[in-house]
Amino acid sequence: MPDFLHFEFMRNAFLAAILSSVACGIIGTYVVVRRLGFISGGIAHTAFGGIGLSYYLGLNPLAGIIPFSLAAAIGIGLLSRKARIAEDTAIGAFWAAGMSIGVILIGLTPGYAPNLFSYLFGNILTVPDSDLQLIMGLDCLIIAMVWLFDKEFLAISFDEEYARISGLKTVALDLLMLCLIALTVVIMVRVVGIVMVIALLTIPAAVARSFSRSLYGMMALGTLFSCIFSIAGLWLSWVFDLASGATIILVAALVFLVNALFGTGKTRRTAC
């Protein structure tokens, strides 16, 4: 066993990295092919309101994050799809309002808020066993939903109009997918924090796309890339004593950059 795995917090951190990569690879694939990166960012930042609320009420932060991120997913989804409001406007409103609720509620709570920073930028080194179980449960839920709605999710991702003509309830399916993104956000807040969630939801899947021939292939490869980025980032942060979440993101971003610069030639060749 490598020396850093002798510590329990380090073993938990690695388990968290691997378990969260499953959700990242699967849901990130939909985020990338449907271009839902910005809406995912909106959901994540709205969840800060939930952190503020649970802090104010003295509850476990997850008790606030889960309802807030689900509400953001449904709210942004309904506003932009039913109420003829431009999607980026709806996202911007939720994003800022959620953050504001968080800031005000934390301000109203007496005393200093010590863990705030870890929710914004993640702290994978403090993941308790109970969180690992929760992440595992959410992973199972996500896999089950994606397996059940396999052909419907593929259809709305590739050609939403055709899905609608074929009799699918596209708005409901869309909202369901946004809720799955919200649950993935809940997982990722622990690992990399609210601010950096979008990176892990998009980069592993985007890199995987250049090497995949099917959506399932992209999910599997995205999960693998996410694992590699998180473990490499975690190890580097241990060796050089850096912030873990930020190091994970920078490893991912570096690979993304290299792939974007040198990988495009390959995709263009296979396209002909």
Q: Using the rule CB under 8 A, which residue among 131, 139, 152, 174 binds other proteins?
A: 152
Choosing from 67, 92, 217, 263, the residue that interacts with other proteins (CB under 8 A) is 217
One residue of 111, 161, 241, 261 binding other proteins per CB under 8 A: 161
Q: Single out the segment in contact with other proteins by CB under 8 A; choices: 8-16, 90-98, 156-164, 184-192.
A: 156-164
151 contributes a contact to other proteins by CB under 8 A: yes
> Which of 130, 151 has the CB closer to other proteins?
151
> In the bound complex, what is the minimum distance in angstroms from residue 215's beta carbon to other proteins?
6
**CB-based contact 255:225 (threshold 8 Å):** yes
Smallest distance, Å, CB 73 to other proteins? 21
3 state SS for 155-191:
HHHHCHHHHHHCCCCHHHHHHHHHHHHHHHHHHHHHH
**81 is a site residue for other proteins (CB under 8 A):** no
| Residues from 22 through 51 that contact other proteins (CB under 8 A) | 33
Q: Which stretch binds other proteins (CB under 8 A): 49-57, 99-107, 162-170, 248-256?
A: 162-170
**Residue burial 193-215, b: 16+ Cβ < 10 Å; e: rest:** bbbbbbbbbbbbbbbbbeebeeb
One of 166, 239, 254, 258 touching other proteins (CB under 8 A): 166
What one-character DSSP code corresponds to residue 213?
A: S
Under rule CB under 8 A, residue 3 binds other proteins: no
Query: Cα separation of 52 and 220, whole Å?
Result: 35
Q: Residue 132, exposed/middle/buried by CB under 10 A (0-12, 13-18, 19+)?
A: middle
Q: Is 214 in the site for other proteins (CB under 8 A)?
A: yes
Identity of the residue, 9 or 158, whose beta carbon is nearer to other proteins in the bound complex:
158
Q: Can you tell me the distance from the alpha carbon of 103 to that of 106, in angstroms, rounded to the nearest whole number? A: 5
User: What is the Cα–Cα distance from 234 to 251, expressed in whole angstroms?
Assistant: 10
CA distances from 207 to 109, 223, 230, 240 (A): 42, 11, 15, 26
Binding site for other proteins (CB under 8 A): 33, 148-152, 154-155, 157-159, 161-168, 209-210, 212-215, 217-218, 267, 270-272
